[in-house]
Amino acid sequence: MKKSIGLWQLVGFAVTSLLGTLLHFLYDWLGKAKWIAPFSGVNESTWEHMKLLFWPLFLFALVQSFFFRDREDFWCIKLRGTLLGLILIPVLFYTYNGVIGTSPDWINIVIFFLSAAITFLYETHLFRRGDLTCRWAKLSLIVLIFIGVLFVVFTFVTPSLGIFLDPLTNTYGI
């Protein structure tokens, strides 16, 4: 299994990149259908870009978990990777935006792919190292599910905080 970890993670990066890109446009393509809103980007806020990373990561982890049943540390590694990716998006966005004062689309795209790549590289490192103590694997899965619930809830009941603000329309949520 150790040799195939790199291939799994490479496929995961490709799936996450492709699906995240697709989810960016799906809400508009489907005529702003409410049923797809919790999973796709409904505006250009930082939160919505984090959602574009979360759902592909989570869906890929669910599939991957069937093949990694022997890894007690699987969900702990996936939680750590997902949290790293989700943190990187706002940190990188607000850092460069604070420095240069603008938000070119190409930099936002790079941030998404860079966050996904770093997530999978970090997870690969943890899988290969193999010494992560994971006492509460089920709790890690529960935390990931809870994050998913937050993405669903905040799609429809959006807090008036900067991370949820669409910089193009100055609105929150749908």
Residues 77, 133 contacting (CB under 8 angstroms):
no
Distance CA 115, CA 170 (A): 25
What average pLDDT does this structure show over 14-34? 96
Digit-coded pLDDT (tens) for 72-128: 899 999 999 999 999 999 999 989 877 877 777 888 889 999 999 999 999 999 999
Mean pLDDT computed over every residue of the chain: 92
d(CA 144, CA 79): 6
Total count of domains within the chain: 1
What global pTM score does this model have? 0.91
- pLDDT score of 3: 57
Tokens of 145: 């599910």
pLDDT digits (tens, 9 = 90+) for 29-55: 999 999 999 999 999 999 999 999 999
Instruction: Look up the domain containing 51 and give its range.
Output: 2-172
Round to whole Å and give the CA distance between 168 and 155. 17
Whether the per-residue pLDDT at 18 is higher than 80: the answer is: yes
